Amino acid sequence: MKAAVLHEARQPMTIEDVGLSKPKRREVLVRTVRAGICHSDLHFQEGLYPYPLPTVLGHEAAGIVEQVGEDVTYVQPGDHVVGCLSVFCGECEQCLTGHPNLCLNTEVKLAPGAARRLTFRNEVLHQFMNLSAFAEQMVVHEHALVKIRPDMPLDRAALIGCGVITGVGAVFNTARMPPGSAVAVIGCGGIGLSCVNGAAMAGAARIIAIDRLPEKLETAKKLGATDVIQAGNTDVVAEVLEMTGGGVPYSFECLGLKETAEQSFRMLAFGGTATLIGMVPFGQKIELHAADLLRERRIQGCSMGSNRFRVDMPRLVEFYMQGRLHLDHLISGEMPLERINEGFDALRGGHVLRNLLTFA
C-alpha cells in the first residue's frame, strides 16, 4: 500500500510502498477514506515531541472495515468507522473509573515504538499513536475504532476523530461547563472552533473568541461566539477582564503556546478554571503567580477532550446530522496523499483549519 513516511524530523515526507501485516487477534483492517492533517501531526513532524522514526503520521481518520481478525466482535467488513488514538482496554483502573482516554494497558494501547504492524524495506516502520492514518490502509486494535451510521459523510466524520471530539469534549467532559457560563477560547483553529461550537451547544451565555486572524474570528461568530478579540496589538487579558467585569469562569487554551497558556489562567474570574488543550512544546514550563491560586483559580490539562469515544463520537455524529454540530466550516480543502507536504506547509501558514487527505 501507499503511505507517507517521515524519515527524519523537519524533513518532507515521502510516498512509499509500505508493508502492512494482516489483522491478528482483535485487530481490524480498515481502508482509509479521509484523514485530516492536524496541527498535532505538525508538532511531531517538526520534532517538537519525540517519537521513534521512521514513522507514518496521521491520527484523525475515517474509513471502511475490510477485514477482521480472530475474536473481533465489535465490527464487521463494510462497517463505517472513525479511528481514535484513545485506544482503551476496558479493564484497567482508568477505564473502569470512567477515564478510558487515559487507559494504562500497554498491551492494547501500545507505547511508541512497540507496534510491529508496518514495514518498509524489510525494516520496522513505527505506527504512530496506534493508527498511522496517512496511509491507504490501517491495521488497528478494535478498541481504536468506533462504528458510525453509514449515512454520515466520511469527510466530516474524520474531523470528529481528533479536533472536534477534543474541542467539544473539553467543554462537556473536562471542564463540565454549566449552562449560562461565560467562556473565553484562545485560538480559533479546528480545536478552538469546536470548543466554541461545544460551548454554544452547552448553553454558554457568553463566548469570547480570541485569534490573530480576522477570518477565523468570523468563522467563530458563525459557530456561536458572541464576542471576538483580534490578538496581536492588544492585551487580550486586559480586554477580557474589562469586557466581563473581572474575568471568565472558564477559559480554553487551544494553541499550545506558553504565552497563551499563561494568559488563559490570568483572564479567570475568582474560582475560575483554565483548561489547556493545546500541546505546549515538550520541555517548556508554564509560569504562574502563586498568589493567584489563593482565589481558587484552577488550571488543568485535557487529553482528547476526556473522551469516552464509543459514546461521545456517535453522539457528535447525531448532533451533526441534526444540524447542531457544525463541521462544514472546518474543511479548508481536500488533496491526494501525494500532496501531503503541501498540506503541512499550508498548516504552518496558519490560514487553514483542516485539509483532508483523500484516498482512491
Catalytic residues: 38, 40, 43, 59, 162
Q: How many helices (H) and strands (E) does the chain have?
A: 10, 19
Among 93, 89, 90, 72, residue whose Cα is nearest residue 30? 72
State the amino acid at position 160 in one-letter form: I
Grid cell listed for 228: 471576538
- Residue 287: all three cell numbers together: 509560569
- Here the cell at position 172 is 462537556
User: 171: alpha, beta or left, given left = phi > 0 and alpha = psi -120 to 50?
Assistant: alpha
Nearest to 101 by CA among 245, 309, 320: 309
From CA 161, how far away is CA 316, in angstroms rounded?
10
242: amino acid identity, one letter: E
CA distance 354 to 5: 20
Cα–Cα separations (whole angstroms), residue 206 to 85, 188, 227: 32, 16, 8
**Gyration radius (Cα) of the chain, Å:** 20
Inter-residue contact 206 to 226 (CB < 8 Å): yes
Per DSSP bridges, beta strands 123-127 and 118-120 are antiparallel
Task: Give the CB-side neighbour count of residue 39, counting CA atoms within 13 A.
Answer: 25
Nine cell digits for residue 211: 485569534
Supply 224's cell numbers. 456561536
